[in-house]
């Protein structure tokens, strides 16, 4: 790392590979034999070091800061006098809607430098990001820099991280008790994602008017004993909506769940002026229909933001190795030190403290089965 003028740092950053021809030309002899007249046009030498247009390392002027998950990110230097800080409300294709701290809603593109930096994320800019915007003309602008993130909720899609939203305090895990059917294993996966990202989870069981509440007691009792906060809701009758709205005031909360569970309906019940689009659950498949197409930050009248997200059917955890899963289950933690082997997987070993607790009824069997499915990569 070299220091430039006025204390600026010159850093070597990794970029994406370009989709261009190889730097080193192949089959030179064959092409020469096919057309001898072009011998004078053939290059006398070629570079084979890998540098040039295909090089993945380039120099960037900026600072290196610790990012979330202990990794390091490069923050390019920008002219702060020409930029306005803001927050991304939604990303629609190549255009990001950014609410500037000056109160202006900007429609922004992302500068090429950010788009070409190598990253494990599918998208460079996501809803919830704090960014620096350079106004260009009217309400149009360019995102010059993305600030370090915290409170990131993401999942793995095709080997890369798909960040749903960034910089949130809470995750409201919405599940319907009927139409579509309740999926406790999906709740468990979202709870693990919240634990790993240090986001406070809230479990919202919607559509309780469709079942006998007594049927929910076993499941609710397990989560309640673990310290998770539960909210029994009915968006149609507004049962429990006022209590939930009080909890959301002044916080940054993302609503996550499968399609059809009523995320948008709950938000409409909290703030009727939103008028978010909703759809009925399919009677044939009892699956929800996608009405929300992108994660969107909605300013809450009582302070903070509410984040509506598209429905998810699978939640493959990102950057969670099987050996870390045990500590992510709250009920496992008191028994981890009772395992005979320090690298115990809690699946097949003898003298396992976790398995002994399951056998004694101290750990819920369904939650343990959920752990085994996750550990096996299912």
Tell me the pLDDT tens digit for each residue of 91-132.
998 999 999 999 999 999 999 888 887 777 888 999 999 999
Query: Can you tell me the mean pLDDT for 145-155?
Result: 92
Q: Does residue 19 register a pLDDT over 90?
A: no
Read off the pLDDT of residues 170-213 as tens digits, 9 standing for 90 and up.
Answer: 999 999 998 888 999 999 999 999 998 999 999 999 999 999 98
Read off the pLDDT of residues 293-318 as tens digits, 9 standing for 90 and up.
Answer: 899 999 999 999 999 999 887 888 88
Query: SS3 for 325?
Result: helix
pTM of the model: 0.81
Query: Can you tell me the mean pLDDT for 362-368?
Result: 96
Q: Does residue 251 register a pLDDT over 90?
A: yes
Query: Residue 154: which H helix or E strand, with range?
Result: strand 153-157
C-alpha to C-alpha distance for 167 and 126, rounded to whole angstroms: 10
The gap from C-alpha 256 to its chain's centroid, in whole angstroms, comes to 11
Compute the C-alpha angle 112/116/120, nearest 5°: 140
Q: Does residue 28 register a pLDDT over 70?
A: no
pLDDT classification of 71: cutoffs 50, 70, 90:
very low
State the angle between helix axes of 184-197 and 365-375 in degrees (0 to 180), rounded to the nearest 10: 70
The pLDDT of residue 106: 97
The pLDDT of residue 21: 47
The pLDDT of residue 265: 92
Q: What is the mean pLDDT of the chain?
A: 84
What are the counts of helices (DSSP H) followed by strands (DSSP E) for the chain? Answer: 9, 17
Q: Does residue 292 register a pLDDT over 90?
A: no
Q: Are residues 201 and 170 in contact, defined by beta-carbon separation less than 8 angstroms?
A: yes
Sequence-ordered list of residues with C-beta below 8 angstroms from that of 284, at least 6 positions apart, any chain: none
Q: Does residue 2 register a pLDDT over 70?
A: no
List the domains of the chain with CATH numbers: 78-146 (2.40.50.140), 153-308 (3.40.50.300), 322-375 (1.10.40.50)
Query: Can you tell me the mean pLDDT for 139-153?
Result: 93
More confident residue, 74 or 150: 150
Q: Does residue 286 register a pLDDT over 90?
A: no
């Amino acid at each position: 790392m070299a220091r430039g003028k006025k204390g600026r740092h010159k850093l070597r950053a990794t970029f994406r590979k370009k989709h261009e021809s190889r730097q080193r030309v192949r089959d030179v002899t064959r092409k020469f034999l096919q057309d001898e007249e072009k011998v004078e046009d053939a290059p006398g030498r070629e570079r084979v070091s890998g540098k040039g247009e295909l090089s993945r390392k380039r120099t960037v002027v900026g600072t290196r800061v610790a990012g979330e998950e202990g990794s390091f990110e490069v923050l390019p230097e920008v002219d702060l006098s020409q930029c306005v800080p803001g927050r991304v409300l939604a990303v629609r294709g190549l255009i990001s809607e950014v609410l500037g701290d000056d109160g202006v809603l900007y429609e922004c593109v992302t500068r090429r430098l950010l788009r070409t930096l190598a990253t494990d994320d599918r998208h460079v800019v996501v809803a919830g990001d704090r960014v620096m915007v350079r106004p260009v003309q009217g309400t149009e602008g360019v995102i010059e820099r993305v600030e370090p993130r915290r409170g990131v909720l993401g999942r793995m899609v095709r080997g890369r991280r798909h960040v749903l939203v960034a910089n949130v305090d809470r995750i409201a895990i919405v599940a319907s008790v009927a139409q579509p059917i309740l999926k406790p294993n999906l709740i468990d996966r979202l709870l693990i994602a919240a634990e790993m990202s240090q986001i406070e989870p809230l479990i919202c069981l919607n559509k309780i008017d469709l079942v006998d509440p007594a049927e929910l007691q076993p499941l609710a009792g397990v989560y309640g004993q673990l310290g998770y906060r539960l909210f029994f809701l009915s968006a149609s009758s507004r049962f429990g909506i006022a209590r939930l709205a009080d909890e959301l005031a002044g916080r940054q909360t993302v609503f996550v769940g499968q399609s059809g569970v009523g995320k948008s309906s709950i938000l409409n019940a909290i703030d009727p002026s939103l008028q978010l689009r909703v759809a009925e659950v399919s009677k044939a498949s009892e699956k929800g229909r996608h009405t929300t197409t992108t994660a969107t930050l909605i300013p809450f009248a009582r302070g903070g933001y509410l984040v509506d997200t598209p429905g998810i059917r699978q939640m493959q955890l990102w950057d969670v190795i099987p050996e870390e899963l045990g500590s992510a289950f709250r009920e496992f933690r008191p028994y981890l030190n009772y395992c005979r082997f320090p690298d115990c997987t809690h699946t097949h070993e003898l003298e396992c403290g976790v398995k002994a607790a399951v056998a004694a009824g101290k750990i819920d069997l369904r939650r343990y089965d959920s752990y085994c499915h996750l550990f096996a990569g299912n």
